[in-house]
Amino acid sequence: MVRQGSGFPSGRTANRAADVFFSLVSDEMYQLMVGVRGWSESAWREWLVAALERELFDDG
């Protein structure tokens, strides 16, 4: 579980972090990127990790 005040960049809440997380890791996002857009699984995983780090922990 994600907790408030656990290192999120300023202005981000636990609820917002959960929304972002579940949106990015959803089956729909995977199907869109891999099934429809033709990304490889490894490209999707690399993008997912970078997106999660940027959206949840990057303060820049």
Span between the terminal Cα atoms of the chain, in Å: 24
Give the number of other Cβ atoms within 10 Å of residue 14's Cβ: 14
The backbone torsions φ and ψ at residue 47, rounded to the nearest 5 degrees and listed phi first, read -65, -45
pLDDT tens digit sequence for 9-60: 777 888 989 999 999 999 999 999 999 999 999 999 999 999 999 988 876 5
Q: Residues for the chain: how many in total?
A: 60
Domain boundaries, the chain: 27-60
pLDDT at 1: 43
d(CA 24, CA 10): 20
Is the model's pLDDT at 5 over the cut of 60? no
